[in-house]
């Protein structure tokens, strides 16, 4: 006769697991219980978000400033809203790694005439600064520099 030993492993997060499961079962009632005011729940979404990346993920420039914050500079020759999500991901990873404030500035080339850099995703808001080179008069700046050199 073979005897099997059963191991009982209880997660240290058992209460979190139970609370998550019960909240999923009771959906709108759970929101009401917690005092969360929102639109009614349409469906429960899978929370498993596996990420397998094998790539070099780098920004254009990151500077450590005197106040121990980071300045994240990005240079863009086109506008694509998806880039904002990528820049936010860089900033989150930087913050997660070093726990420093990250200020992002996106510098758009003169070919870009319009770029919306405000990204709102519910409780997460990403609002990097933007510099539009199309707002600068390159000929006037060149003339001013040329005159300064001549003097």
Show the domain range for 97.
61-140
The beta-strand segments (E) located in the chain are 61-64, 70-76, 102-108, 119-121, 124-126, 129-132
Q: Model-level pTM?
A: 0.64
Report if residue 80 sits inside a domain: yes
pLDDT confidence band for 141 (50 / 70 / 90): confident
pLDDT for the residue 59: 80
For the chain, how many structural domains are there in total?
A: 2
My answer on whether 26 and 66 are in the same domain is no
My answer on whether 68 and 44 are in the same domain is no
Residue 113: closest CA among 139, 141, 132: 132
My answer on whether 27 and 87 are in the same domain is no
For a pLDDT cut of 70, what percent of the chain falls above it? Answer: 68
Report if residue 151 sits inside a domain: no
My answer on whether 73 and 119 are in the same domain is yes
My answer on whether 92 and 118 are in the same domain is yes
Per-residue pLDDT of 101-126, as tens digits, reads 999 999 998 889 999 989 999 999 99
């Amino acid at each position: 006769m073979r005897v099997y030993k059963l191991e009982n492993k209880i997660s240290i997060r058992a209460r979190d697991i139970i609370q998550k499961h019960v909240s999923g079962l009771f959906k709108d009632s759970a929101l009401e219980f917690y005092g969360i005011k929102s639109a009614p729940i349409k469906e429960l979404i899978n929370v498993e978000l596996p990420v397998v990346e094998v790539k070099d993920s780098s920004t254009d420039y990151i500077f450590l400033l005197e106040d121990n914050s980071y300045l994240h500079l990005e240079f863009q020759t086109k506008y694509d809203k998806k880039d904002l999500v990528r820049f936010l991901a860089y900033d989150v990873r930087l913050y997660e790694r070093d726990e420093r404030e990250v200020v992002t500035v996106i510098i758009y080339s003169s070919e870009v005439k319009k770029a919306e850099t405000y990204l709102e995703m519910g409780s997460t808001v990403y609002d990097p600064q933007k510099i539009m080179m199309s707002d600068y008069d390159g000929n006037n700046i060149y003339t001013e520099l040329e005159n300064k050199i001549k003097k």
